[in-house]
Amino acid sequence: MPLDKEELFGTETDGTKNQDYCVYCYKDGAFTHNMTLEEAIQDAANYAEYMQMTKEQAIEYAAKVFPALKRRK
């Protein structure tokens, strides 16, 4: 998910914003889901409407972006 708004940033345990992860993935200093990379890519379809994309576009975008995320390295 593009982090283009501060409200989308995840949070650390002290409430500060984490600019590496979105609020849906990272909250209060911990990851919110334990998913494989493939599961996370497929889950992106659930956020397609929010991202103003089709489900297929969201999955395609996630397949390009997610493997390069800090969490997946």
Prediction pTM value: 0.71
Query: Quick one: pLDDT at residue 17?
Result: 96
Query: Quick one: pLDDT at residue 1?
Result: 62
Query: Quick one: pLDDT at residue 3?
Result: 81
Predicted confidence pLDDT, tens digits, the chain (73 residues): 668 889 999 999 999 999 988 898 899 999 999 999 999 999 999 989 988 999 999 999 999 999 998 888 8
Query: Quick one: pLDDT at residue 37?
Result: 95
Q: Nearest-CA neighbor of 27 among 37, 36, 16?
A: 16
